[in-house]
Amino acid sequence: MEQLCCPFYGQMMARARYYHILRFLHFTDSNRNGVDRTYDRLWKLRDSFEILRTNFSKFYNPSEHLAVDEVIVKFKGRVLFKRNIPKKCKSFGIKMFKLCDSTGYTYDMNVYIGKDRQRAEQHLTATHSTVTSLTKGVEGFGHKLYMDSFFSSPDLYDDLAQKKNLCCGTVKPHRKNMPKDLWPKTLRLKR
């Protein structure tokens, strides 16, 4: 509970006043026409989220070393895209993919709202398309990307190398298009 507590707000405003403001707080018009609510589960926050994303990358030049990773943002409310990842310290919340530099600054981010139907039509894996969308702003500058085995694949590394981005990461031996000669059955490595 300590992570969610912020005494500043309680000292500035009464609880009844906060709930009164919260009752009328909206980020977008719910009656707006032209919004495909069935596809975009983040439609109420999409405009605010896009402003944050563009400003994060617009006003900062990232360092040479970047990391791609998934994070869980702790959230106790009710949304359809809340995830449970038991191996994370905050297991329940909203899953996000982030591109961060060596100082920890978030350069770009995406919210995982479920299976993406538009990217499924392409011949790319979901993780491949996620990494390429996150790294669009740093293509051609010679950045070094670090990622874990969740994202790593030979096709992704080749694609990023063509865009002048170098990659480093752990790999899973049974990933699609992984060379078989790297993983002989007799290979036993010592700890």
pLDDT digits (tens, 9 = 90+) for 59-85: 888 999 999 998 888 887 777 777 877
Three-point CA angle 153, 156, 158, nearest 5°: 110
Residue 63 near residue 100 (C-beta atoms within 8 A): no
pLDDT interval class at 118 (50, 70, 90) = low
- Hey, what are 111's tokens? 């919210």
- Hey, what are 67's tokens? 């990391």
Residue 109 near residue 49 (C-beta atoms within 8 A): no
Q: What does the H/E/C string look like for 61-102?
A: CCCCEEEEEEEEEECCCCCCCEEECCCCCCCEEEEEEEEEEC
Three-point CA angle 141, 170, 128, nearest 5°: 55
* Range in 45-54, 137-146, 173-182 with the lowest mean pLDDT: 173-182
**CA within 13 Å, CB half, 113:** 17
Q: What mean pLDDT is predicted for residues 137-146? A: 91
Which of 65, 53, 67, 57 has its CA nearest to residue 152? 67
pTM over 0.85: no
Q: 25-59 burial, b if ≥16 CB within 10 A, otherwise e?
A: eeeeeeeeeeeeeeeeeebbeeeeeeeebeebbee
Q: What is the pLDDT of residue 1?
A: 47
Listed in sequence order, the residues at least 6 apart from 79 whose beta carbon sits closer than 8 Å to its beta carbon are 41, 94
Q: What is the pLDDT of residue 166?
A: 92
pLDDT interval class at 101 (50, 70, 90) = very high
Residue 134 near residue 165 (C-beta atoms within 8 A): no
Q: In whole angstroms, give the CA distance from residue 108 to residue 56.
A: 7
Q: Does domain 61-179 have CATH number 1.10.150?
A: no
